[in-house]
Amino acid sequence: TKVEYVSLATSARFPSLKAGEIDVLARNTTWTLEREATLEVMFAGILYYDGQSFLVPARNNVRELSQLNGATICVVKGTTHEANLADNFLERGWSYQPMIVETQAQAAENLFSGKCQAFTSERPQLTAMRLKAPGGPEEYVMLPDQISKEPMGPVVRRGDDEWFTIVRWVLFALIRAEEIGISQSNVRSRLEATTDPVVRRWIEVDGIISKALAVPPGWATRAVETVGNYGEMFERNLGSQSVLRLERGLNRLWTQGGLMYSPPFH
């Protein structure tokens, strides 16, 4: 099965989904009631828990949020960050000058050239921008302050309930695989040799329930074989095996102090 990846500007992501140009929106997109209610979309689950912070030049000696009172702050148009920034500063009685940009690349250009004193976004985006900074990452500092909750996950069009269910449970299957110790390297051997009732239930889901989902048997196993379990995906793309080297934090399994868990399969 072939997958086509489409690069989209932030402002184009929901229109492209609604127009049928893409089947699933999988990028840094925050789950909100307003989006589900007004954009005719459905979020299939939470793939990543994050929060909004700020990246600032180290030379400006800004080390806490209060020092940005009165600053010019870059923010990408059409994101939750616009409203979060406005609400947070209004609540504190602070002022700021928003510099609205269309893309993160434009935000980086403005921040690095000194046109804005800070850029606000989720922490992975700030980390990636910091790594590309002229003069090296030590020239920019991410503030410890976090002003929002940003639960992000895959999004589909409203009305395609079967596709929504498939996307949702593929996500949960990757999380469940980590919970029960199934990984990309051992998935076949675990399933073929196990007498573990928990793993046996995985096999049942992979086979019998596949008919109800209208997908070929082995769907969950193939997902893990292709991309690994949730923890493997995280470490490869965001964590210790990536250039970002982010801590899992809230994205740890619930048994390890995080928020990630799969609903029961039975």
User: Mapped to the 3 state alphabet, what secondary structure does the chain carry?
Assistant: CCCCCCCCCHHHHHHHHHCCCCCCECCCCECCHHHHHHHCEEECCCCEEECEEEEEEHHHCCCCHHHHCCCEEEEECCCHHHHHHHHHHHHHCCCCEEEEECCHHHHHHHHHHCCCCEEEEEHHHHHHHHHCCCCCHHHEEECCCCCCCEEECCEEECCCHHHHHHHHHHHHHHHHHHHCCCCCCCHHHHHHHCCCHHHHHHHHHHHHHHHHHCCCCCHHHHHHHHHCCHHHHHHHHCCCCCCCCCCCHHHCEHHHCCCECCCCCC
pLDDT value of residue 33: 96
Residue found by looking up tokens 């990846």 in the block: 5
Residue 265 included in any domain = no
- Domain boundary, last residue among 148, 173, 198: 148
CATH number at residue 72: 3.40.190.10
* Signed CA dihedral, 13, 14, 17, 18: sign only: negative
Residue 136 included in any domain = yes
* Token reading at 96: 């700021």
Residue 111 included in any domain = yes
Residue 3 included in any domain = no
pTM of the predicted model, to two decimals?
A: 0.91
Residues 135, 202 within the same domain: no
pLDDT value of residue 211: 86
* Token reading at 128: 């990636």
Residues 89, 112 within the same domain: yes
The structural domain count of the chain equals 3
Among residues 78, 72, 65, which one has the least CA distance to residue 147? 65
Residue 14 included in any domain = yes
Q: Which residues of 41-75 are buried (b: 16+ CB within 10 A; e: fewer)?
A: bbbbbbbbbbbbbbbbbeeeebeebeebeebbbbb
Domain enclosing residue 242, as ranges: 160-256
Residues in contact with 32: Cβ distance below 8 Å, sequence separation at least 6, in sequence order? 80
pLDDT value of residue 201: 79
- pLDDT, averaged in runs of 10, over the chain (266 residues): 86 94 94 96 98 97 97 95 96 97 95 98 96 96 96 96 96 96 91 80 77 88 95 97 96 98 90
- Domain boundary, last residue among 114, 148, 182: 148
Residues 96, 165 within the same domain: no
pLDDT value of residue 204: 72
CB neighbours of residue 34 within 10 Å = 9
Residue 130 included in any domain = yes
Among residues 199, 236, 196, 241, which one has the least CA distance to residue 220? 199
Residues 40, 63 within the same domain: no
pLDDT value of residue 1: 58
Residues 139, 187 within the same domain: no
Residues 205, 141 within the same domain: no
